[in-house]
Structure 1
Amino acid sequence: MKNVKANKERINQLISQYQKELDDHVIPFWMKHSKDTEHGGYFTCLSRKGEVYDTDKFIWLQAREVWQFAKLYNTYEQKAEWLEMAEHGAAFLQKHGADDQGQWYFSLNQKGEPLIQPYNIFSDCFATMAFGQLYKATGKEEYGQLARSTFYSILERQDNPKGVYNKAYPGSRALKNFALPMILSNLALEIESLLPQELIQETLDKIIHEVMEVFYFPEEGLVLENVSPDGQFVDCFEGRLLNPGHAIEAMWFMMDLGEKLNRPELIEKAVKITLDTLEYGWDKEHGGIFYFMDIKGHPTQQLEWDQKLWWVHLETLVALLKGYYHTGNEACWEWFEKVHDYAWKHFSDPEHGEWFGYLNREGKVLLPLKGGKWKGCFHVPRGLLYCLQTLERMKDER
Structure 2
Amino acid sequence: MQRKKFLKLGGGILLSPTIINDVKLFNKNKHDIFDKNSNSNHLILDRLGGMSLPELLDFHRNYLYKTYIPNWERGVDWDNGGFADSLKPGQEPDFEKKSMYYQGRAIWMFSYLYNHVTKNKLHLDAAINGRNFVVKHALLDDFRWNSILERQGNPLSGPVDHYGDIYMVLGLSELYKATSDEKDLNIAINTVHSILKRLVSPIYQHTDAHGPAMEPGIRRLGGWQHLLYSLSSLLRVKYDQEIEQIARFCVRMICEYHWIEEYKLLFEYLDINYKQYISNVSNWGGSRNLRSISGWHSIQACWMVMDEAHRVKHYPTYRHGIEMGFSTLEKCYVDGKGIITLKYPEEIPKVESEFDPWGALDDVLLFCLMVIENNHHPDIIRYYNKCFSLYHSIPDNYRPEDLLHLPRQLFYSIEIINRIIKQEGKVKNAPFD
Shift in CA distance, 10/310, structure 1 to aligned 2, threshold 3 Å: same
Q: Is the 8 A contact 1:255 1:323 kept in 2?
A: no
- The code of the aligned residue for 1:378 comes to L
Q: Report how far residue 79 of structure 1 moved.
A: 1.4
Task: Choose from 328, 339, 354 the match for 1:306.
Answer: 354
Q: Report how far residue 121 of structure 1 moved.
A: 1.0
Task: Choose from 64, 72, 92 the match for 2:105.
Answer: 64
Q: Report how far residue 327 of structure 1 moved.
A: 2.6
> How many Å separate the matches in 2 of 1:103 and 1:395?
43
Task: Choose from 377, 380, 401 the match for 1:332.
Answer: 380
Shift in CA distance, 87/263, structure 1 to aligned 2, threshold 3 Å: same
Question: Any unmatched runs of 5+ in structure 2?
Answer: 1-39, 208-212, 281-287, 425-433
Shift in CA distance, 48/21, structure 1 to aligned 2, threshold 3 Å: closer
Q: Is the 8 A contact 1:45 1:55 kept in 2?
A: no
Task: Choose from 377, 391, 405 the match for 1:379.
Answer: 405
TM-score, normalised to structure 1's length?
A: 0.84
The residue that corresponds to 1:18 in the other structure is 60
> How many Å separate the matches in 2 of 1:227 and 1:116?
28
The residue that corresponds to 1:367 in the other structure is none
> How many Å separate the matches in 2 of 1:54 and 1:289?
33
Q: Is the 8 A contact 2:199 2:219 kept in 1?
A: no
> How many Å separate the matches in 2 of 1:262 and 1:321?
19
The residue that corresponds to 1:27 in the other structure is 69
Could you list the per-position Cα deviations for residues 300-347 of structure 1 after superposition, in whole angstroms to 9, with x for gaps in the alignment?
xxxx9724423311011111000111233221111111111111122x
> How many Å separate the matches in 2 of 1:340 and 1:221?
25
Q: Match of 1:46, SS?
A: coil
The residue that corresponds to 1:199 in the other structure is 242
The residue that corresponds to 1:247 in the other structure is 298
2:334 is aligned with 1:283: yes
Identity across matched positions, percent: 21
Shift in CA distance, 148/194, structure 1 to aligned 2, threshold 3 Å: farther
Question: Any unmatched runs of 5+ in structure 1?
Answer: 350-354, 358-369
Could you list the per-position Cα deviations for residues 276-302 of structure 1 after superposition, in whole angstroms to 9, with x for gaps in the alignment?
211222234x42222554323299xxx
Q: Is the 8 A contact 1:72 1:78 kept in 2?
A: yes
The worse-fitting range, judged by mean Cα deviation, of 80-89 and 142-151 is 142-151
Matches within 5 A, 1:2-151: 6-7=45-46, 10-32=52-74, 34-52=75-93, 55-151=96-192
TM-score, normalised to structure 2's length?
A: 0.77
Q: Match of 2:393, SS?
A: helix
The residue that corresponds to 2:421 in the other structure is 395
> How many Å separate the matches in 2 of 1:222 and 1:10?
34
The worse-fitting range, judged by mean Cα deviation, of 154-163 and 137-146 is 154-163
Shift in CA distance, 7/45, structure 1 to aligned 2, threshold 3 Å: closer
State the Cα RMSD in Å.
2.7
Shift in CA distance, 336/168, structure 1 to aligned 2, threshold 3 Å: closer
Q: Match of 2:118, SS?
A: coil
Could you list the per-position Cα deviations for residues 362-386 of structure 1 after superposition, in whole angstroms to 9, with x for gaps in the alignment?
xxxxxxxx54xxxx32221111111
Shift in CA distance, 114/305, structure 1 to aligned 2, threshold 3 Å: farther
Shift in CA distance, 297/63, structure 1 to aligned 2, threshold 3 Å: same
- The code of the aligned residue for 2:403 comes to C
- The code of the aligned residue for 2:247 comes to L
Shift in CA distance, 6/222, structure 1 to aligned 2, threshold 3 Å: same
Aligned length: 365
- The code of the aligned residue for 2:372 comes to Y
